[in-house]
Structure 1
Amino acid sequence: MSDFRSDTISGRLVTWMRSATTEGLPEVVRHEAKRLFLNQLKASVAATDQQAIALLHDWAVDEAQGGTGAHVNWLGTALPPALAAMVNGALYEVLDFHDTYIPCFMHAVSGVLPAVLAQAEAGGHGGRDLISALAIGLEVELAVARILMPTGYYRGMVPAGLTGGVGAAAACAVLEGLSDAQMQNALGIAMCTPAGIYESAGSHTLSYITGLAARSGLQAAALAKRGFTAPPTAFEGDQGMFATHSDEDKAKVDAIVDSLGSEWRIFGQTYKVVPTETITHGPVECALEILGRAGGRTVERIDLSVQEIVVKIVEGRRERFGRPSSTPQATFDLCHCVAAAWLRGKFTTAEVQADCYTDADVIALSDKVILTADPARPTFEGCAMTVTFTDGSTEHHNVDNFLGTPGARVPDEKLTDLLEQYGEGFLPAGRARAIADAIWALDDAPSIAPLVALINKD
């Protein structure tokens, strides 16, 4: 067993993890972690029929060879914890309906929650310990992400693939009560083994990357518990994670690590109220708002003023994909999402299915969506839309913070409503409410088994 090195980045992260575990977390942080847990469930309940999930699920069943310990959410399949974590990670990711930490262009919870949930189930842990470990893992992940981004993203890495395993390893290490040296090794293993490039967007592989991050973090903690070692300088070493996966200024590192526990990045999460990529939420919100006052007028063109990076992303994907030819591609096509929302008067999982992305009217309208970069937009939390109609009239709407961002928080009850909405036809009547109630009560739950039973399909 290697000795603990408190002077390294991984050592400083472990020191904070130990302090947070010993001193306990603020109740508002615990509540936010529960919100994020519930958010992942509403993001995944309608995803079980996705082809990527079916393929990965069937592979995991074959790979498990009868091993059990944890369950695949909603499907109820018993698998070894690492495989359950991987399938659940993909399940949380595949509809792109989960959380987003906009400062780092990432989905933080989807790599951490599947790992710590599987570990908690297999290890018989209670709800309070699960929520503590989840929140601590997320803070570690987000701190590492703030150090590595945005240049890690610009290099082509999937942020959750880059840092999700680190957060998952931290969460599982805390849950299992590892020693400081073991925790440092767990973080080091995960830091040495990130995976996932953004060329995967629009394919099954993007959801697999999130599942892989969850599995990697869980396995890192399990290996460290057995005595498996990693370099204590896995992050800052000459060939460590920082040097190989970003072009950031080293001057930012100390300030971010030192801010753990005083700046809670968990509150910076954005919650999605429609199942599509984050950059489309402001435009969809604008489209539905203007549609309500369009009065049946025919659209001539739709002009969108957005953050500069949004234009680059949209143009890059159109060059790669052309028009959407699959559900994942439609989900990542901003112009399609705007056109579908306008013509259907809503945006749900139905608006990224084949009957919508092949609809001639939707295709024609998507070609009338024109994007202009606005250098004054600091993030893609906001945008402005002007719709010009064939009679020469116009309608305008501006959004600075779309619903779900930290500046326009989604109420707790709305998260339950979304779980109920997307669970319709899959969950028995009243089940969504029962799941939400069980999550809010996790601090007093000696076992998470009753919640797991509620999530598993009857």
Structure 2
Amino acid sequence: MTEATTATVSERLAHFLVRNGDLPEAVLHETKRLLLNQLKASVGAHGHPAIRILHEWATKDGGHGASVHWHGTPTSPQAAAMVNGALYEVLDFHDTYIPCFMHAVSAVLPAVLALAEQRGASGQGLLRALALGVEAELAVATILMPTGYYRGAVPAGLTGGVGAAAACSVLAGLDEARTVHALGIAMCTAFGLYASVGSMTLSYITGATARSGLSAFELAERGFTAPVTAFEGDRGMFQAQCDEDRAKIGPTLATLGTDWRLLGQTYKVVPTETITHGPVECVLALRPRAAGRTIERMTFLVNPLVQAIADERRDRFGVPSSESEATFDLRHCAAAAWLRDRFTTAETAPACYTDPDVLALRDRIDLIADEGRKTFEGCSLEITFTDGSRETHGIDNFLGTPGNRVPDAKLAQLFRDYGGTLPAGRADTIIDTIWALDTVPDIHSLTNLLRIEP
């Protein structure tokens, strides 16, 4: 390969992917956590209307080699990547890499897991491929964001295919030359508009991105080619997808394999988008102090971007009319959490988002931009009651952020909580298998467990 100073972005990424050896222990463990987190995000989604439609459509022609999580449907790796990617996304209960506003694992894991299932890969092979694929994806995202997001892209839609192609290339042992082409194909075929938020289409984008990354790998493995300058070349990914400074490229790539970005992931403990976690946590912390008082108004001080996003959606959605709109309506989530003393998938269901009491409280919630909040990891809440009294609460790092990590035991319990439809004992078996996955010789030991039926 050429020297780093003259190598293209695809070449530098491929060099990292092919030449990187065993994962550091902390990275290996975090990769297991990320895998368990995605299963937690998806196990309660198998009956979601969007998944029902995608499952029927993607698997209608049959196929074999891989399977759809929780349904147990045998199908092609392409179809499995599509549906499983949507499963990870649809409840918005997955990981978030806050610096890039993205869900880094949701498109990478379904592609590489479908390939691992088809080829009978080992657990260790899957974990290594997943970690390296996510790192490649996060490097690309770090270069493209935030202006890629501001332009209107779904960040994981832009970069998820790159991560998926990278992970699949690692799992299959592609050489550097073919890995360069896999990455280039994925870069040239990136997609996903943020206008999809609040609709079923967002989950489709994640699934389609996973499938696209898998396709990029499969084509490159067969000798299909892509431009070596697909990222930084004239009319390449960088020019087309962002307004960032090109000076970011070199320093970002220079940290590959030393500063592991996946260690900075945020995990969700309630099923809603990341910007809503701080407000919901504040609500649930203040609620026991209400002592029967009636709320006059709730006022949140939030990162300015949070206010802008929430207000735009209020104007666009109006009153929530679907589970997806309720999930992405911060005011609805805060009101529902207060009145129900919890936040679960039931709080985005029709019975909740049409509840007159929830709607009335939703209309008494204000968001004020706090210029001192540089990210949305924290916020503060002041509640004014009808008797004139007030209560306040603030957080700097909601549970799940790198500054307030979710313990392994809590993450496992969340999977148990949302896996209530699994056969007795199945959740614990899955958890134990994941913690020991690097010793499992065949990934089917895990994938055979990912079904609701006994």
Letter in 2 for 1:427: L
The code of the aligned residue for 1:70 comes to: A
Residue of structure 1 equivalent to 2:24? 26
Q: Show the counterpart of 1:218.
A: 214
Post-superposition offset of 1:261: 1.0
DSSP 3-state at the match of 2:225: coil
Aligned 8 A contact 1:4 1:181 in 2: no
Among candidates 56, 59, 68, match of residue 57 of structure 2 = 59
Match of 1:12 in 2: 12
- 1:371 Cα offset (Å): 0.3
Deviations, residues 184-230 of structure 1 (Å, cap 9, x unaligned) = 00000000000100111111100000001110111111100000000
Matched residue type, 1:39: N
* Aligned residue identity for 1:148: L
Alignment of 1:368-379 (within 5 A): 368-379=364-375
Conserved in 1, the CA contact under 8 Å of 2:72 and 2:452?
yes
**1:84-129 deviations in Å (ceiling 9; x for gaps):** 0010000000000000011111001000000000000001100000
Match 1:430 to one of 425, 428, 452: 425
Partner of 2:393: 397
Letter in 2 for 1:438: T
Size of the aligned set, in residue pairs, is 451
Map 1:58-457; keep pairs closer than 5 Å. Answer: 58-62=56-60, 65-424=61-420, 426-457=421-452
Give the Å deviation of 1:66.
2.6
C-alpha distance in structure 2 between counterparts of 1:10 and 1:231, whole Å? 9
Secondary structure of the structure 2 residue equivalent to 1:450: helix
Identity %: 63
Give, in whole Å, the separation in 1 of the partners of 2:239 and 2:199.
Answer: 29
Which secondary structure state, in structure 1, belongs to the residue aligned with residue 228 of structure 2? Answer: coil
Counterpart of 2:47 in structure 1 is 49
Q: Give distance in 2, aligned partners of 1:40 and 1:5.
A: 37
Q: Normalised by the size of structure 1, how large is the TM-score? A: 0.97
Q: Are the equivalent residues in 1 in contact too, given 2:422–2:451 (CA < 8 A)?
A: no
Please give the secondary structure, in 2, of the residue aligned with 1:87: helix
CA deviation digits over 1:12-57, x for unaligned, max 9? 011111221xx21101101000000000001000101111100000
Cα distance between partner residues in 1 of 2:413 and 2:442: 25
Q: Does structure 2 retain, via aligned residues, the 8 Å contact 1:5–1:232?
A: no
Structure 2 CA distance for aligned equivalents of residues 108 and 16 of structure 1: 18
1:4–1:253 CA distance, 2 compared to 1 (3 A): closer
1:124-158 residue CA offsets vs partner (Å, 9 max, x unmatched)? 10000000000000000000000000000000000
Conserved 8 A contact 1:302-1:369: yes
Contact 2:144/2:242 (8 A) holds in 1 = yes
Deviation of 1:5 after TM superposition, in Å, equals: 9.4
Q: CA deviation at 1:315?
A: 1.0
Does the 8 Å CA contact 1:5/1:11 hold for their aligned counterparts? no
CA distance in 1, matches of 2:63, 2:206: 22
TM-score (ref. length: structure 2):
0.98
**How big is the shift at 1:365?**
0.3
The Cα RMSD (Å) is 1.0
Question: Unpaired runs of 5+ in structure 2?
Answer: none
One-letter identity of the residue aligned with 1:171:
A
Amino acid at match of 2:24: P
CA distance in 1, matches of 2:452, 2:365: 41
**Partner AA of 1:447 in structure 2:** D
* Inter-partner Cα distance in structure 1 for 2:50 and 2:58: 12
Distance 1:361 1:351 in 2: 13
CA distance in 1, matches of 2:63, 2:282: 49
Report how far residue 4 of structure 1 moved. 8.5
Q: Secondary structure at the match of 1:194?
A: coil
**8 Å contact kept, 1:302–1:370:** yes
Mark the CA change 1:4 to 1:255 in structure 2 (over 3 Å): closer, same or farther: closer
Distance 1:387 1:432 in 2: 39
How far did 1:67 drift? 1.3
After superposition, what is the alpha-carbon deviation per residue over 1:297-341, rounded to whole angstroms, capped at 9, x for unaligned?
A: 100100000000001101111111111010000000000000000
* Contact 1:93–1:210 (8 Å) recurs in 2: yes
Q: Is the 8 A contact 1:4 1:184 kept in 2?
A: no
The answer as to whether partners of 1:138 and 1:266 remain within 8 angstroms in 2 is: yes
CA distance in 1, matches of 2:288, 2:115: 47
Contact 2:163 2:213 in 1 (8 A): yes
The runs of 4+ residues in structure 1 deviating greater than 4 Å are 3-6
